[in-house]
Amino acid sequence: MARGKRGLISVAVTVVCAVTVLAVPGTAFAAGAPEPAPAPTPSASASASASPAAGTDRELEAVRERLDTLYREAASATDAYNAAEEKAKEQSRQLAELAKKIAEGKEKLAGLKARAGAAARAHYRSGGLPPEARLVLSDDPGAFLDGTGRVLQGQRATKHLIDETKRTQQDLEQYSADAASHWKKLEANRKAKAAARKKIEKQIAQAEKLESELEKEEKERLAELERAAARKAQDDWLGTGVLDDADGRATTAGEQAVKYATAQIGKPYEWGAEGPGSYDCSGLTSQAWASAGRVIPRTSQEQWKQLRRVDVTDMRPGDLVIYFDDASHVGLYVGDGTIVHAPRPGRDITLAGAGSMPILGVVRPDAG
């Protein structure tokens, strides 16, 4: 693909992203970026009215890095929350199945006990003699011969009843033990969710507080620093020639995933959300592929672990680009060096340069 076209695409992505800060936590934005020149020293009166959080570009860069850290920690906690949520759902499903088996087992055991009771009552009415004794005491040789087969059948039926009752009781004991184990796991996952939720809310609150301390002009300058860092990271990535020979075409399913994801542009990020009104990063990618008929893991970390990995140079529209060493962020590749993703709290779903964040790798939900 021509380098000139890449440059135009990079500019286009920049324009689209101008209304939002691109970084899911953007550690990558600072990488390789030249240190901004310090702003003129403000006057004493200006310093008195300025926010204590930041003033010069150097200070704003420190604020940006701190915000990146807070939002990345929130993203990691969001993945932990989503993972615990998925496990809790599975444990609840298994508990429901076990409850059904226990109910069916109790009903079966009650029927077996009823049959055993009926046999005992029949035995009592016969005077307490077992069938074998009554048969031996019979004066009728013909009846003796005819009854032999019935006695054997009765013995087998009795043994079967006893064995079946024993197996049913053992099954019930195992179901109960399994249910207790699943319940403990469910409670553990609920606690994990609560801990993750607490961490997410804490990190986001700290980030929002830090941003709220900035003056309007400082916020605008901070946003510009973020955009500039994103542009440089993307240009540097494209400049390596990583996509020069890329000509991968999307499958039908991949086209549908791209169509779904891009239709969500403008909707807000919300941690733990899977649509339709809002999404987190992996909520967007998992639902995009669900719309294409492919169920994939819910979290970005599990998407990285479970889906087939492909080389960055071979990626095609519909593939998932996984970011950061902890696989805490994911975007859906739409082609021409661009992803669509849900960046972070306070941002909307948008297009971004695929190289604007440090890429861990690329995975492919469909093998076709």
Active site residue 341: yes
Alpha-carbon distance values, 8 to 1, 194, 321 (Å) = 12, 46, 22
Strand partners, 362: 310, 321
**Token pair 């399913």: residue:** 253
User: What are 326's two structure tokens?
Assistant: 């902890």
H-type alpha helices, the chain: 3-16, 27-30, 44-49, 57-125, 131-136, 141-212, 216-239, 252-263, 281-291, 300-306
Pairing of strands 308-310, 359-364: antiparallel
CA 92 to chain CA mean position, Å: 17
DSSP string, 151-197: HHHHHHHHHHHHHHHHHHHHHHHHHHHHHHHHHHHHHHHHHHHHHHH
CA distance 329 to 77: 11
Spell out the residues 6+ positions from residue 176 whose beta carbon is closer than 8 angstroms to its own: 102
Catalytic residue, from 17, 123, 160, 281: name it: 281
Whether the link from the prior residue into 141 is cis, omega within 30° of 0, is no
Catalytic residue, from 17, 123, 182, 341: name it: 341
CA distance 222 to 133: 100
CA distance 147 to 140: 10
Q: Give the residue among 81, 27, 17 at the shortest CA–CA distance from 324.
A: 27
CA distance 167 to 164: 5
Active site residue 17: no
Q: Taking a C-beta distance cutoff of 8 angstroms, is the pair 363, 287 a contact?
A: no
User: What are 188's two structure tokens?
Assistant: 């553990």
Q: What backbone torsions phi and psi does residue 354 show, to the nearest 5 degrees?
A: -60, -25
Query: Catalytic residue positions?
Result: 281, 329, 341
